[in-house]
Structure 1
Amino acid sequence: MVTSTVEQLNPTRVKLHITVTPDELKPSIAHAYEHIAQDVQIPGFRKGKVPAPIIDQRIGREAVLEHAVQEGLDAFYREAVTANEVRIVGRPSAEIVEWPSTKDFSGDLKVEVEVDVRPEFELPSYDDITVEVDAVETDEAAVDAELDKLRSRFGTLVTVDRPAKTGDFVELDLVATIDGNEIDRAEGVSYEVGSGELLEGIDEAIDSLTAGEDTTFRSKLVGGDHAGEEAEVSVSVKAVKERELPEADDDFAQVASEFDTLAELRESLVERVSQQSVFTQGSAARDKLIEILIERSDIPVPAKLVEDEVHAHLEGEGRLEDDVHRAEVTEASEKQFRTQMVLDKVAEKHEVQVSQDELTQYLIQSSQQYGMSPQDFVDALQEGNQLPLMVGEVARNKAVAVALGKVTVVDTNGKPVDLTGFVAEEDEAAEADAADEATEEKAPAKKAPAKKAPAKKAPAKKADAEVEGDAEAAPAKKAPAKKAPAKKASATKAADAADDAEAPAKKAPAKRAPKKAADSE
């Protein structure tokens, strides 16, 4: 095993000093000769059968040494991470500070690797934490509102001859121009007034218009080649329609649910509203508890990690020069990091474990949100080495459910809030997201409302991703006079991924130290 020590640079960054002896490097050198023999073509020798002395003569030992280091550095780094119990959260940066001799490969290989690590901090006591959430009443008005939602799903659109208002559906023709040039057109667009799902400013523009009338307004485009640019939009209203709801009676109850009478349907809606109230208050309590734990914990944030995440995010959006947005993304990234750290700490404190059944349930739910079959979803995760992310998410959901059971939760009226079914005990922590699914899916109607799938995350957006780094570093490269084509070293999994359940990060390019003078052959 390689020799290594850790130097703490700051609370979130360390430097690993790794020393590899000639005996430890020897297997990598042997493999380097084998790989180079497969790649080079030398007259008089079959491919793969080129002797080492010929490779030394034709290619040079510098190329062999570089290939060996490139191949072995990943493993040396992982050994050092494991031996020193370093919990990395960023991409490593490696520098070769001393090379073995190219004459006979004697002498140690010395490497320094800098990498961000999880900060150490203490969780506050739960004893004096009181979480306040909005009061929610399950009254007739709430039941009526839930019944109206159900009726709206069975409503019909009827054309009306009057100005459009919020809640109406309008049929529109749209033409967008920039500097007088038409750049986009859409006809027969159906839009619900007041939904805000089309263009900014369109609700104000079409409010009070009747069929046959038109107007113009200015708005930033949200898609296409001119996304983000301001355009003048002409809108023509072709038709105004209102939703006509069915009568709330026994016939409706039989069509829209499993019940025979409206009274039975309303009784089931009372239970549903009550469940939704618990979920609403539980979600609010969960978010506020996390905020309190973060406020009362001193959690340093790795500056380099956040800087890299913000840069990748802005680069993906093409907004690297937007300083205002940069500040917003930086704040969000720092908050996300602290949130993950505090939830991971809670999970560790209460020794939260994730069972196979819990992970399977979470994967099935997530696959539905992404419109994929469970197997396709799992295959995609495995291909991207993202399964540890899912394990981490389940563990954090369980952790916050456990923490909620240990604090006081009251509403704005000072009344204790019963979150039974939302919180969990340490030995049977239940996923908070599973409670979400159970609440939304348990509907009295035969035809349950379709759950809207959330937008998929952008792979490059690190602010919404995990922070655990890959336990590897790219080796520094020497430039030999004659370099053999070297195979690219494969990426490796994080050495402690199973422990921290995080995602691998891409390798960071190693810094190159001044090369020692090569020994004469």
Structure 2
Amino acid sequence: MKSAVETLNPTRVRLTVEVPFEELKDSLDAAYKKINQQVTVKGFRKGKVPARIIDQRFGRGVVLEEAVNDALPKFYTDAVNNAELNPLGQPEVDITELKDGETLNFTAEVEVRPKLEIPDYSGIEVEVDAVEVTDEDVEKAVQQLRERFASTTPVERAAQDGDVVTIDLEAKVDGKVLEDGIANGVSYTIGSGELLDGIDDAVKGLEAGGEATFTSELKGGSAAGKEAEITVKVSQVAERELPELDDEFAQLASEFDTLEELKADSRKRLENMKRYDQATQAQERVLEKLLELVEVPVPEKLLEDEIRTRKHNLEEHQLAQMGLTLDKYLELQGKTAEEYENETREAAVKGIKTQFVLDELVAKEKLNVNQEELTEHLMRRAASSGMSPDQFAQAVVQNNQVPLLVGEVARGKALAVVVEAATVKDTNGEIVDLEDEEDNEAADTAEASADDKGEGEEKAEA
């Protein structure tokens, strides 16, 4: 077999392949055997029809077509390997010549990973938010904890801000009560903003037994996004009582004996959260700088597949679960259809570029993924998906997605290498040491940036 490669553009090539006819022998034998099992010829037992009879009865062309279809994938793969190409997706194959007993010639056009030059990235510098926890931050955290331990006491008076009311709701659209528009015994804290717009004004001033009607846009259900007439009836008004902020509260709400110990722990937790956010911010900004340094051609078909995948995931899964149409979603987001299209394309381009660059770094730095790293990543992915590690692992194996997870970990390690070489300063001008956070954060950042994941390319290569 002879093959040659013609570069059509940085992300697309044409392979020209010439196959001597003798290399089709195994496929021809397999074709005769397959046809033998499918046909019945009088005078011959099934599966024992001679090749010359098959040629006479059904035509040599049928056999050649079956043989070529069987052989093409192997010849194409050999040509790809000989040229050391990294194809993306399926090729467009055209048989240019087929002479029985002489030769098989074909061409195959396919998108390929572009060859990238990764420049020196050690000079990357980024600025991130400083880790600063104020007394006000601590007081707010303790206050939120205090809210969780609030008690309620029924009162015989009109409802007011901060009260917890027990209510029955009925929603009508165009004068008809919705099948899913009735809810009884709902507990609601006035001012929390957790239910419908307008409900706070409707229930304030009502005592137990009182009711009111107001108009609001439904946030979910069968009529999500529509204006509805809501009738709310109050069955109980309860006053919230917050515990005193003292040592007794600290013992009730935590493992600490004193309020000061509780506050010190809250400060530490807030600092850890801010360091986590700082590390994530550093990863994202270093990645942006890295992408600016590398010229990355994006295969057009891969890009269109990625855009289509992202749109499908949003429109058919995320919005469908929320009961929203795309038009309603765009209205709520204050975006036009054109802005949505542009943002989706930009995100898809960034995802593909991220994957290409980090994969190139994985090869350049000769990074490997061990079992411990893969297991740790699987545990994090399982937690974020709401599945148990065993369930998530089983799903990964069943869907043949282990290579995808390995790729995510490897790209995370590649990004960590770049971050380690970069200079990261906070807004106070201090050098930030991200060593403790680096690997896990980089894996998450690389995964999110290629998300939802350079997903089109992952599928194309799989």
Query: CA 1:366–1:312 in structure 2 vs 1: closer, same or farther (change >3 Å)?
Result: closer
* TM-superposition CA deviations, 1:34-84 (whole Å, max 9, x none): 222223344444443333233323333222222222222222222222221
Code of the residue aligned with 1:292 in structure 2: it is K
Other structure's SS at 1:91 match: strand
- Is 1:392 paired with 2:407? yes
How large is the Cα RMSD of the aligned pairs? Answer: 3.7
Q: Where does residue 206 of structure 1 map in the other structure?
A: 199
For 1:96-111, what aligned pairs fall within 5 Å after superposition? 96-101=95-100, 106-111=101-106
Superposed displacement of residue 153, structure 1: 4.7
SS state at 2:106 partner: strand
For residue 88 of structure 2, give the secondary structure of its aligned residue in structure 1.
coil
User: Which residues of 2 match residues 71-470 of structure 1 at below 5 A?
Assistant: 71-101=70-100, 106-155=101-150, 161-163=158-160, 173=169, 175=171, 177=173, 182=178, 184-188=180-184, 202-203=196-197, 205-210=198-203, 212-218=211-217, 224=222, 230-238=225-233, 245-314=242-311, 317=315, 324-423=339-438, 430-432=439-441, 464-466=452-454
Counterpart position of 1:65 = 64
Q: Name the residue aligned to 1:13.
A: 12
Which structure has the highest helix share of the two? Answer: 2
CA distance in 2, matches of 1:33, 1:242: 86
Report if the CA contact (8 A) 1:176-1:183 is conserved.
Answer: no
Deviation at 1:392, TM superposition (A): 0.9
- Relative to structure 1, is the Cα distance of residues 134 and 23 closer, same or farther in structure 2, using a 3 angstrom cutoff? same
Instruction: Tell me the distance in 2 between the aligned counterparts of 1:213 and 1:385.
Output: 56
Aligned pairs for 1:487-506 (under 5 A) are 502-505=458-461
Residues 309 and 456, structure 2, Cα contact 8 Å, conserved in 1: no
> Which residue type is aligned with residue 404 of structure 1?
V
The letter of the residue matching 2:59 is: G
Bigger strand fraction: 2
SS in 1 for 2:85: coil
Letter in 2 for 1:233: A
Structure 2: tracts of 5 or more residues without a match: 317-325, 328-335
**Is this contact kept in 2: 1:159–1:241, CA < 8 A?**
yes
1:252 touches 1:262 (CA, 8 Å); kept in 2?
Answer: yes
* Cα offsets for 1:79-128 (capped at 9, x unmatched): 22222111123332222222242xxxx22222222222222333343343
Shift of 1:18: 2.3
Three-state SS of the structure 1 residue aligned to 2:350 is helix
| TM-score, normalising length: structure 2 | 0.79
Tell me by how many angstroms 1:137 deviates.
0.6
TM normalised by structure 1 equals 0.71
Q: How far 1:149 sits from its partner (Å)? A: 4.3
Contact 1:88–1:468 (CA under 8 A) maintained in structure 2? no
Paired residues in the alignment total: 430
Aligned residue number for residue 3 of structure 1: 2
8 Å contact kept, 2:124–2:290? no
* One-letter amino acid of the counterpart of residue 216, structure 1: T
SS at structure 1 position matched to 2:302: helix
CA distance in 2, matches of 1:232, 1:418: 52
* C-alpha distance in structure 2 between counterparts of 1:343 and 1:170, whole Å: 54
Which blocks of at least 5 consecutive residues in structure 1 are unaligned? 424-429, 437-456, 470-501, 507-521
